[in-house]
């Protein structure tokens, strides 16, 4: 069985086992909770997510620098950057508009009478826009890497790449070293992926076992609209956009990005998924490093279509629940705030909720009402993260195609870049 299929089977089994633990109530038995959910599942999933996160910084560094060398022209770099940014923002705006329209049409939340069990404690809504802007240039690059400040790491790598471009003739060893490091880190991803099926099983099993099924039933309207909106955006809207801009085979594209989607779903973090997304886009879709090494980590940081959609649907849902009527001004405010918020949302689990406080305060809804959707946010987070990552791959492919930086033969080869079996030699 191919690794992608094994991972899918693991996902299905994880869902099943999680549901059994949840519905049968055995999740409340102390030893199941301690040794299975908070033991085996937590350790199995946590180790894998950490291994992926461990590879992000070296991967971005050693992919982006050769990527810059591959572009070879600073103006072209500016063009790729501008195109990606514009597409990321435009697709997020389309996403949230779709979400609000669907939510408003369905009338979710109207006439519902449910108790607020757990009020949301308004946390400090991450960084302000000016802070994000200043933070792009890291005062201390080691600290930026330690903190995983993606925009700062991207900035440093581009700067380094440009300097190396100027010094390229006199620094052949540096260029060679970075290229070889890139191969080694890519190999490390393949090695981590051997454990992917077990990890996915643990991650999904834990999330579903801990899900409050009764809450899902209580706010099933919200749940169904958001999940439908997310699936619609990932499989219809984004695919239409991809087809319109590139003419590429959508079926093949979806098949090839399945791994990245599954990992985003299992880990709830587009940041932790960067190694898989980058590898998928480069080796499976044939996108040149010069585009992907920049566009993927950049997208993981600023592009959050799914998160913006959740914010749109949640806002309409809570407004209806409280009987607040929104006019066009409020809707436009939601779109603008959610697009900006999604740029500022860190690519880690659940931050979307914190950014939702920003949207709520803009349109005058009480922050503690986020408590209504808290109980099911984990499963919504998993789904919206998969949509966020799908968006990163779509925009990266469009930009690459428009700059003629995609290898169509690789794209059209169904087996290109499949994860290989890694055989570690016994003797050095």
Q: Closest approach of Cβ 381 to ligand ASP, in Å?
A: 5
> Which letter does DSSP use for residue 260 in this model?
H
Q: Closest approach of Cβ 132 to ligand ASP, in Å?
A: 16
Candidates 162-170, 345-353, 397-405, 420-428: pick the segment binding ligand ASP (CB under 6 A). Answer: 345-353
By the rule CB under 6 A, 171 interacts with ligand ASP: no
Q: How far is CA 30 from CA 35, 36, 82, in A?
A: 8, 10, 54
Candidates 160-168, 244-252, 347-355, 406-414: pick the segment binding ligand ASP (CB under 6 A). Answer: 347-355
Candidates 50-58, 147-155, 340-348, 405-413: pick the segment binding ligand ASP (CB under 6 A). Answer: 340-348
By the rule CB under 6 A, 347 interacts with ligand ASP: yes
Expressed in percent and rounded to 5, the helix, strand and coil fractions of the chain are 80, 0, 20
Beta bridge mates, 406: 287
Beta bridge mates, 287: 406
Q: Closest approach of Cβ 270 to ligand ASP, in Å?
A: 4
Task: Fill in the per-residue mask, 56 to 85: x = in contact with ligand ASP (CB under 6 A), - = not in contact.
Answer: ------------------------------
Q: Which is nearer to ligand ASP, 282 or 383 (CB)?
A: 383
Lookup: tokens for 38: 């908070």
Single out the residue of 182, 282, 307, 396 in contact with ligand ASP (rule: CB under 6 A). 307
Q: Which is nearer to ligand ASP, 97 or 268 (CB)?
A: 268
Contacts 24+ apart (CB under 8 A), 20-29: 21/205, 21/208, 21/209, 22/208, 22/209, 22/210, 22/211, 22/213, 23/213, 27/209, 27/210
> Quick one: which of 45, 405, 351 has its CA closest to 207?
45
Q: Give the separation between CA 57 and CA 60, rounded to whole angstroms.
A: 5
Single out the residue of 289, 384, 401, 405 in contact with ligand ASP (rule: CB under 6 A). 384
Q: Closest approach of Cβ 380 to ligand ASP, in Å?
A: 9
By the rule CB under 6 A, 158 interacts with ligand ASP: no
By the rule CB under 6 A, 312 interacts with ligand ASP: no
Q: Closest approach of Cβ 387 to ligand ASP, in Å?
A: 9
**Cβ atoms of residues 120 and 369 within 8 Å:** yes
**Cβ atoms of residues 334 and 95 within 8 Å:** no
Interface residues toward ligand ASP, by CB under 6 A: 268-271, 304, 307, 345, 347-352, 381, 384-385, 388
């Amino acid at each position: 069985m191919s690794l992608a299929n094994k991972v899918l089977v693991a996902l299905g089994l994880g869902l099943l086992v999680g549901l059994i633990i949840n519905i049968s109530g055995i999740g409340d038995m102390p030893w199941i909770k301690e040794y299975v959910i908070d033991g085996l599942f937590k350790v199995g999933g946590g180790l894998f997510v950490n291994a992926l996160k461990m590879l992000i910084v070296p991967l971005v560094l050693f992919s982006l620098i050769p990527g810059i060398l591959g572009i070879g022209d600073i103006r072209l770099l500016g063009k790729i950057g501008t195109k990606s940014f514009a597409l990321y923002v435009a697709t997020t705006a389309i996403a949230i508009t779709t979400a609000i329209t669907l939510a408003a049409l369905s009338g979710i939340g109207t006439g519902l009478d449910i108790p607020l069990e757990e009020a949301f404690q308004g946390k400090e809504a991450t960084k302000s826009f000016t802070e994000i802007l200043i933070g792009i240039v890291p005062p201390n690059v080691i600290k930026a890497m330690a903190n995983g400040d993606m925009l700062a790491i991207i900035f440093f790598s581009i700067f380094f790449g440009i300097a190396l471009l100027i010094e390229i003739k006199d620094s052949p060893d540096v260029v060679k070293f970075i290229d070889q490091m890139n191969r080694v880190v890519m190999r490390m991803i393949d090695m981590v992926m051997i454990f992917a099926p077990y990890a996915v099983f643990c991650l999904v099993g834990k999330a579903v076992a801990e899900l409050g099924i009764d809450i899902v039933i209580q706010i099933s309207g919200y749940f169904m609209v958001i999940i439908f909106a997310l699936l619609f955006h990932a499989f219809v809207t984004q695919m239409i956009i991809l087809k319109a801009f590139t003419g590429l085979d959508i079926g093949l594209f979806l098949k090839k990005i399945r791994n990245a989607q599954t990992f985003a779903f299992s880990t709830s973090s587009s940041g932790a998924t960067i190694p898989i997304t980058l590898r998928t886009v480069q080796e499976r879709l044939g996108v040149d490093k010069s585009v992907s090494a920049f566009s993927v980590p950049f997208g993981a940081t600023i592009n959050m279509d799914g998160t913006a959609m959740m914010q749109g649907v949640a806002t309409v849902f809570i407004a209806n629940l409280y009987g607040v009527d929104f006019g066009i001004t409020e809707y436009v405010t939601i779109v603008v705030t959610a697009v900006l918020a999604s740029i500022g949302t860190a690519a880690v689990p659940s931050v979307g909720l914190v950014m939702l406080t920003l949207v709520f305060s803009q349109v005058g809804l009480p922050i503690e009402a986020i408590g209504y959707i808290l109980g099911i946010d984990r499963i919504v987070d998993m789904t919206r993260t998969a949509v966020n990552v799908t968006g990163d791959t779509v925009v990266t492919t469009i930009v690459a195609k428009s700059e003629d930086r995609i290898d169509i033969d690789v794209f059209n080869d169904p087996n290109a870049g499949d994860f290989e079996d890694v055989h570690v030699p016994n003797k050095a």
